[in-house]
Amino acid sequence: MNIKWNKVASALALIIGAMAIYAGGQVLLGHIPGYYVIDWLPVYNFSVGVITFFFTTIILWRNGKYALTAAIATLGVHSLVMIILLTAYRSVVAADSTRAMTIRIVVWIVILGLMIIQSRRNKTGQEPGE
């Protein structure tokens, strides 16, 4: 099987980036979700979504020099925001916000896993397990 794992990782990044653009954009455009929204969170979601959609996915698709760095940085930023939400904003953060951030973190862990598979495959010249 000749799967380009970085292409799968890029597709996942594209999807999760588009979801962040949509979710953040809806709130920024005035759609009130029915619960308290932390002021900076929609801006963060939208901004990171745009960066992911238009920058990170391209680097991942091309398996560029900074692809792994970009993926680790994205996972790190999402993890940091999650820590902030669960500590400084614990009493006011909406369950939907923590759920969305958890999904992003899990997807980025999967993306990193796919990139590691691709990296090992590139080094050995074959599929893992063959």
Q: Please report the DSSP string for 20-80 in residue order.
A: HHHHHHHHHTT---SS---TTHHHHHHHHHHHIIIIIHHHHHHT-TTHHHHHHHHHHHHHH
φ, ψ (nearest 5 deg) of residue 110: -60, -45
Encode pLDDT of 39-57 as tens digits.
999 999 999 999 999 999 9
φ, ψ (nearest 5 deg) of residue 118: -60, -40
Q: Rounded to two decimals, what is the model's pTM? A: 0.89
CB atoms closer than 10 angstroms to residue 41 = 21
Amino acid at 28: L
What is residue 116's predicted lDDT score, i.e. its pLDDT? 92
Q: Break the chain into its structural domains and give their ranges.
A: 5-124
